[in-house]
């Protein structure tokens, strides 16, 4: 994200504007509820509130992360990229990098790369690099045939395939240029990111390492959802009015069904795989 502080300002303006329009709509300050100004203000205000609910925290975290990197907090390494290396980087990475570099008007000036533990700043453009198995930072390695040398970071985003309705991981690449004078710093950053990726664990890993804990979580969630459903049903049978009893009963039952489905299709397979692997190691 480039200029996260500016984007945070825009998001806050959208939040305030959306809140004002929505308040004007529900208070009928613009006319009756069915009038066009009131309905228009309500729709626009609600849309702005939904959008700002996403962009405000995202831009706030990006602005905070950028400030921490500039202050030297959680920085693994930082290095300058000279003007000549930056020009070659701009010419070679525009077509296949997640980051679109900008050529410098001042040809004598280069840029600075600041690599943090979970983020990176390239030419004052902030990227969050949380390691993951399907989303986030999936891989980090030295790029082949790049000039200058580049650390290639593969970033995954889960997206929906419109033709099939299924979900798949869409991968993109982020290239960090490393000039010859900063190869030691680049190696240090690469090793740090590779260790972070190797240390990521998902639910399957948790099930294999701590099966008892996983089953306790499963039974706890199932019991809690059934208790909520029972409370809602009891309130309904006792004659309690309103939508709360029905909401509790339906929500609890749906949650219980979801927990059962996840437990039936996920936990037994993971635990069997873990048991088989342990048995093979004993042999």
Rounded to two decimals, what is the model's pTM?
Answer: 0.62
Angle at 254 between CA 50 and CA 157, to 5 degrees: 45
Give percent of the chain above pLDDT 90: 8
Residue-level pLDDT at 188: 92
- DSSP per-residue letters across 33-89: TTSHHHHHHHHHHHHHHHHHHHHHHHHHHHHHHHHHHHTTTTEEEEEEE-HHHHHHH
Q: Which residues, given as ranges, of the chain have pLDDT below 70?
A: 33, 93-101, 103-109, 160-167, 201-211, 242, 265-283
Helical H segments across 94-177, by residue range: none
Q: Find where tokens 């929500």 sit.
A: 251
Residue-level pLDDT at 184: 92
Cβ-in-10-Å burial (0-12, 13-18, 19+) of 211 comes to middle
Say what angle helices 211-237 and 267-282 make with each other, to 10 degrees.
160
Residue-level pLDDT at 274: 45
Cβ-in-10-Å burial (0-12, 13-18, 19+) of 27 comes to exposed
Q: How far apart are CA 80 and CA 121, in angstroms?
A: 12
Residue-level pLDDT at 276: 42
Task: Tell which residue, 44, 39, 12, has the closest CA to residue 26.
Answer: 39
pLDDT tens by residue, 29-60: 777 767 788 888 888 888 888 888 888 888 89
Residue-level pLDDT at 280: 46
pLDDT tens by residue, 91-137: 776 555 566 667 666 655 678 899 998 889 988 888 888 887 777 88
């Amino acid at each position: 994200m480039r200029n996260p502080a500016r984007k945070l300002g825009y998001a806050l303006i959208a939040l305030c504007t959306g809140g004002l329009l929505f308040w004007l709509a529900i208070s009928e300050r613009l006319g009756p509820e069915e009038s066009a100004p009131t309905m228009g203000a309500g729709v626009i205000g609600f849309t702005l509130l939904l959008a700002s609910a996403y962009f405000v925290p995202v831009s706030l975290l990006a602005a905070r992360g950028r400030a921490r990197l500039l202050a030297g907090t959680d920085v693994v390494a930082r290095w300058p990229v000279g003007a000549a290396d930056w020009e070659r980087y701009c010419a070679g990475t525009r077509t296949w990098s997640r980051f679109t570099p900008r050529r410098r008007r001042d040809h004598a000036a280069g840029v600075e790369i600041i690599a943090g533990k979970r983020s990176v700043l390239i030419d004052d453009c902030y990227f969050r690099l949380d390691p993951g198995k399907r989303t986030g930072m999936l891989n980090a390695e030295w790029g082949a045939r790049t000039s200058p040398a580049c650390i290639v970071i593969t970033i995954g985003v889960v997206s929906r395939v419109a033709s099939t309705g299924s979900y798949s991981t869409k991968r993109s690449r982020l290239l960090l240029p490393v000039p010859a004078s900063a190869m030691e710093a680049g190696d240090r950053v690469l090793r740090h990111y590779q260790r972070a990726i190797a240390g990521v664990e998902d639910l399957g890993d948790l099930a294999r390492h701590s099966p008892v804990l996983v089953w306790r979580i499963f039974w706890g969630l199932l019991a809690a959802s059934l208790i909520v459903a029972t409370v809602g049903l009891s309130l309904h049978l006792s004659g309690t009015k309103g939508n709360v009893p029905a909401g509790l009963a339906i929500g609890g039952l749906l949650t219980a069904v979801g927990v059962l489905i996840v437990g039936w299709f996920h936990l037994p397979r993971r635990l069997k795989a873990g048991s088989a692997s342990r048995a093979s190691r004993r042999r």
